Structure 1
Amino acid sequence: MYGLFRRCQRDGTWHRIFTALQAWADAKELITWDLNADSAIVRAHQHTAGAREKRSSNRNRLAVSPAGRTTTG
């Protein structure tokens, strides 16, 4: 039985039956076609949206690095 079902599924028999029944029911106005739209807004995190990372500007950096510890030889 399963083999017959799969064969009909693969060759498109079930799809044709469903389409024919749907067309028949629609012609008899037995189907109510409703459209639902969701108005919810979902916002992504700024990094998900491709925003650049906020980095400190070069103006805030020292022009010369501070002197480190001196070593004596």
Structure 2
Amino acid sequence: MPKISKDGDGKTLYIELSIYPCGSDPAKNLTISCPDLDTQFKTTLSDECLQKFKEKILSFYSQHVL
């Protein structure tokens, strides 16, 4: 479950991220995933996927903090 600073009264959202190689050359691409059930998703470092990452993080923040 995502953690909010100050026992739920703060503005900082803490979520678990896992980063691991994607494809045969990890110097070219990585996979980013949030394995927690409340924030579960997976994406890569391509421009399109980084936009998806941004949207997911903003969604999690809105859902859990705002």
TM-score (norm 1): 0.21
Give 1 or 2: higher strand fraction: 2
* Larger relative contact order (CA 8 Å, sep ≥ 6): 2
Q: Decide which structure has the larger Cα Rg and report it.
A: 1
